[in-house]
Structure formats: C-alpha cells, structure tokens
Structure 1
Amino acid sequence: MSERLPALSLAAVPGRRARTLDLAVEIEQRGFSGIYCPSFGDAMGLCLSIAHVTSTIEFGTSIQPIYLQHPAALATSASYLHEIAGGRFRLGVGVTHGPVVKRLGVETGKPLADMREYVETMGAAAEQTDGLPPVVLATLRDKMVGLAVEIGDGAVWANASRSRMEHSLALVPAGRDGFWIGNMIPTVIDDDLDAARARNRKTLQGYVALPNYRNYWFEAGYEDEMTAVQAALDARDPDAVLAAMSDRWLDDCTLSGSVTRVRDGIEAWFDAGVTAPIVVPSSTSGGQAKAFAELFDAYG
C-alpha cells in the first residue's frame, strides 16, 4: 500500500500573507491531501484566497469560532465559497476556548446548545443561497462528537490523543459513510527528539491550562499528568507545568523527532481511523516557513 499524505494546517501570518498563498499552491503541487485553516487570523478570508489560487486540493476551516459572526452571515460566505471552489470547501465550526470568548466579551450559553442553534440557523439561512458546504464540528469529548454525528458532516479534533480515538470513533455509527474525521496534530521534525518534544510542549502548554482539555486527557488515561498540571497551575509554576507533561502523554497527541518517526506517526493516525490527519508544523529553528520547508523535505 502506498503511503498516505496528510493534510496540512495553514495560517495567514501577518506581513507574510502573500507567501502563505504561495505555500498553498506548493502544498497542492506536492500532493498533500488537504489544507485546513485554524482560527488564528482570518480563516474564511484565507480559504477564499485558497479557492482562487488552487484547483484540485480540498480545503476548509479547521475551526471557525461561532461567536465571531452571525450564523446567517457565515452561511452566506460559506455558500459562496462552496460554489467558487467547486465543492472542495469544508466549513469547520467550533465554540472556541473560554479565554477567547472572554476577550471577545460575548455572552454565551452551553456549548452544545449554542452549537446546535448556530448550525440550524446557518442551515435555514443557506436555503436562500443554494445550501451549505459540508459542516464539520470541532469536537473533543463525547457529547460534542454525538452532536457532530447528529447535525454535521464530520468532526475535527485538535490535539487529540491517538489512544483515545478508538473510543471516540466508536460513537460514529457504521452507517455514516462519508463522515469526515480530522485531527490537528502539532508536529516538529528534528533528529534531536528531546528538542522536538520541547517545542511541542511549548505549543501545548496553553492547552493544558484549559479545563476542557484537562478533562479530556484525564478521561484518556492521563490522570497523573493532569493532576500534576492542575497542581502546577494552582502554584503558578510554569516550569512545573512543563515537567508534568510526560513523554508518554506528549507522544500520544503530537508528532516529534526524525523524518521516519514523524511519517510513521502520521500513518498510525490514518490507521486509527482519522480521515485527515492535519499536520500543524513547527520548527526548533525557525517560523512557519522553516517548518514547512522541513515538512516538504520529509516528503520530497
């Protein structure tokens, strides 16, 4: 069986947005399976640009926060993108994280109820604009997975534990053919495994500070790690937070190390049932451009 190429996560970095589109073109030319844009920056704007500079690759928002705009407005934009892209676009929506919502000053309800209402309102609005693209719900724990199965066309995780995916995907009925499964995976390619892991620890340091993520990883079998993280957070000790993030836990939700180790890890994510492992590249020695160069070399 030939090796399967992952999808890639791409964000428009301020000051280098034109180069970001060049990267999108190169990603398509190199045969990667998709491009998915995280909530950092203008994901919908970037997707519109990707629609115009590419012709075959699938792409979408990995997470477009629902509290940023009215559902009717997002439905209109998504319908337009769906048509312009010739059906290549997926709309991933999510409730985003508590600190983000707090900065926005948004009044929210319960995540499940807010998501259900938002998607239903989008669907009703899109009846006037020739329908929606496939809608993918950003998920983590079981109840949101269930809602994605009920009202969505797919589910996308960020920083999921591979060992937990069998449990999570068991919630998707076998009859849901075409139900899309994505997961954003922090990835660092470096022969110095310790350095690569250290970079991924920094990436996930903010996530372990979020209660919903700690609860997820607790359920995934990392009780000791999450208990230690909580104690370190209570003590306001960032070094202790990093120390609590064990290699065992880190290697379950990120990819670190040599080219062979990372490529084998991506294959393992496919084998776990993920339709689209979405590599989120970082580098121990540079920014986004360097991280993509290292990834391209790995699949050169």
Structure 2
Amino acid sequence: MLSLHTNRAALSAQNALRREGMALAVSQSRLGTGLRVNSAQDDASGLQMAMRLKAQSSGMAVAMRNTQNSVSMLQTADGLLGAMSAMLMRIQDLAVQATDGASTDADRVALHAEYVQLSKEVRQTLNETPYNGKPLIRYTVPAPGVADPGTLGEGPLSFQTGADAAETVTVDFRPALGALNVSLYYAIDDGRLSGQPPDGPGTELSTATAANALIGRIGQALDDLGAVRAQVGATGNRLESVYRNLSTMRDNTRAAQGRIMDADYAGETAAMTASQMLMQSGTAMLRQANQGAQLALSLLQ
C-alpha cells in the first residue's frame, strides 16, 4: 500500500539503522579502550566479579611486598645472630685456653679482659642493634629500669601474607629469646636479667676451675642461640614459599580478570565491520523506502 502518512519500509530501515548504530558504538568503544566491559551495562555480573578479582590481585601485590620486607628483616636478624655466634665461639676459645694448666694468672687476666669486651659487644648486638628505627632482637633488660622490647621480642609477630584478614603467618620468638636471655646471663660478663645482679655468678676467667665451668655455659648459650636462628630461618623460608605462592596466584587472578574485562580484538573488529556494512546497507534501503512517497505523488499527476 502506498501511503503518505506511514512508510513502513522507512520505519523498518530506521529501526535497523538505530540498532546497528548502537552495536557499532559499542564495538568502537571496546576497540578504543581495549575493554569488553566499560560500564555496568555491558556486563553487570561480570563487572562485579572483575572488581573482586582486581581487589584480590591488588591485595596480593601488597602482601608480596610485605613478605619481602619481612624476609629482609629476618635476614638482618639472622646476620646479627651469626655475629653473636662468632663472638661466643671466641669466648669459648678463651675459656678453653684459660683452663689449660700452662696458662698463668697473668695470662688469665689478659684473657678475661678480652672476654669482658666480647661480652659487652654480645650484649650490645643483642639489645641495641636497630632496624627500621627500633631495636630488632632486644629481649633482655638492657639497663636498670624498664625498656621497650625489640621487634622480635615484643610479642607474637603477625605477617600479613594475603588480601584477606585471615591470611597471616604468626610467629612468637619470645620463648626462644627468653631461653637465650637466661643462658647469656650465665655465659657472658655483662649479662642482665630483670631483678637480678648485672652479672651471673661465675662469669670470669680468673681461675682454671671458673674457666672450665664457663665452657659448658657458653655451650648452652650457643645451643640457645642456634635455636633462635633456626626459628628465624624457618620463618624466612616459610615467607619465601608464601611469596612464590602469591606470585602464582596473582598471575592467575589477573588472567581471570582479563578474560572477563579485556576486549577480543578479532571478534570486535569483525563485529564492527559487520555493523558498518549493515549501516551502509540500511542507509541505502532507507533511501529507497523514502522514494515511496514520491511514487504516491506521481499517481496524482
């Protein structure tokens, strides 16, 4: 039917042009941003899932930095404990030498002088070596009065190893440090315990008998020091494993997010080309449909 008021062919062509115009705009937007989801209208549930994955991935990245910082701190502590171990071994050598019957009283005075200096350095290393602005290992009382403990001695340490609040590694170094504190009190000349005299009894190399007794005490201190180092090393290894696991999980999480959010350039390019061709075809058909009114007028001539 020829009609001047209603041109159904033109309306149909216009409707098709509107649909293809919207599809072309979507394809161009995706190709321009590289994202399949540019707003919640594109994929509401997909956007929600992708945002959760992005937050998880971001939290993992921070947790990875946390673990590396924690490992660095523990490696520093292990280095300090290693230096203390070397000093205690030297003290043990001095005690063994003082025990020998060939050593004179004058020799033992000289040996004791070195023993005192090494003892002070052991205590200084344990109590006052700083890390990030505060003592690192301190557990013993460094001077008369109350002093703040160091990082490893202040309580259970909680290392945040993931994006969720429950993803933590908690380690308490205080039991091992407490045992080391007691054994050092009886092994070095400058030990301190809260409420006790500055030095433990028998911390001298003045006689062969005293030196012989000191050998066993130093051995106990070395054992306790080894226990602290073992706990520090085991914790560092665990955090290294956490780091490797986080790295793998973060890569997979980002890949999952990309599969939701990223645009498929091959598919979007094909869709854009198809939309462009359909718009060209629709424009041509709309031009033909608009000629229907001219045909109606030609009947009146």
User: Normalising to structure 1: TM-score of the pair?
Assistant: 0.22
Whichever structure has more strand as a proportion of its residues is 1
**Bigger relative CO (Cα 8 Å, ≥ 6 apart):** 2
Larger radius of gyration: 2
Whichever structure has more helix as a proportion of its residues is 2
